[in-house]
Amino acid sequence: MFDLVKKIADAVLYEGYLLYPYRASAVKNRQRFNWGALVPESYAAVQRGTENAALRIECPAVGARPAVGVKVRFLQLVEREIGRFARPVDELPENLENVGRVPYLEIDGEIHQAWQEAVECELDLPPLELAETGAREIDFVFPAGRETEPLRDAGGRIAGVVIRTRETLKGRVLVQSSKIERQNSEPVFKIAVEIANTTPFEDAAGKNRDAALLRSTVSTHAILSIENGRFVSLLDPPEEFRALVAGCRNTGAFPVLAGPEGATDCLLAAPIILYDYPRIAAESAGDLFDGTEIDEILSLRIMTLTDAEKREMRSVDERARRLLERTETMPEEFLTRLHGVMKSAGGTHEERER
């Protein structure tokens, strides 16, 4: 079950990471991550409602003695700067503050570009046993860090340097439960999960979004699991739960049932609204990152890029390079499958996939 959920969660994690035409210089890639970003509270305040510092998930659960686990996942951005030396050196100096920063550097035909990379972050909260009322709160910190990578020319001398910087990232996860009084039925609980960015961010009014994103949780989502109980669909709840579902408040993420069709022990709360039991289409060759755009359209557009554009795309990062190579080697029959497949709207999931 977890593999099915993780495939969807991974797709959500990287939606918006890199936008067509997949070049760092493209205007579209100056405004990435348009959903799922939890920015510092001070920055959200000055943006007057266009950015969020927290998200909230609410959902019902049923069971005599249920326990709910929460997994929080997001990306942390890493600033990748390119430094160029006035003349090649044999050793990297300890102090790189005076090394000139450039948008890109070409060394012996290879392009190195400035960019915002990302690392995956994950928090696992132990199961919370649901009772009359209950709560669990954790604070988390991902510390700042800096790494350098020398860029050598064909002669082995250092012509430039890659500087990767991570800012300190702080946050809080709060899980709460409350019992709903019901007669002649199993115990029913209302679960609430709140994820908040508590990172200090001074002079927020004078900072741009890129600076805020370096101190943000990006593509933030949660996976909820339950033992000794079951979740209730918020999209198609049974009649007896409709009033309870209507009272659930979800901000910044929306929970849907996930896993094998018919399962009720897992919810995926994503910043993109999905249906219950979402699936990655069998025809999809892999991630395209561009905000849920159509696979066929993006694949065809990548094929029409010029050699110079492909060269720039290849140099963005490893994900861009793999995407380009996968598309360029895509068999014609695979591309034909992307154009359209007829599936039955009824029956089981397995029957619909035939």
Tokens representing residue 173 in the block? 């996860």
pLDDT the model gives residue 352 = 43
Residues shown for the chain: 354
Task: Show the tokens assigned to 211.
Answer: 């600076």
334: pLDDT confidence band, cut at 50, 70 and 90? confident
**Which residues does residue 59 pair with via DSSP β-bridges, in sequence order?**
191
Confidence band (pLDDT; 50, 70, 90) for 183?
A: low
Residue pair 317/117 in contact by the 8 Å Cβ criterion: yes
Nearest to 190, CA basis, from 143, 144, 138, 255: 255
> Which pLDDT belongs to residue 331?
82
Q: Could you report the per-residue pLDDT of 274-328, keeping only the tens digit for each?
A: 999 998 877 777 788 876 777 888 888 999 999 999 999 999 999 999 999 999 9
Q: What three-state secondary structure class fits 258?
A: coil
Q: Confirm whether pTM is higher than 0.85.
A: yes
pLDDT at res. 250: 97
CA separation for the pair 297, 27 (Å, rounded): 19
Mean pLDDT taken over the chain: 90
- Give the pLDDT confidence score for residue 100 in this predicted structure: 93
In tens, the pLDDT along 67-96 reads 999 999 999 999 999 999 999 999 999 899
136, β-bridge pairs: 175
Interval 30-52: pLDDT, tens: 778 888 999 999 999 999 889 99
Q: Give DSSP secondary structure letters for 265-282.
A: SEEEEESS---SS----T
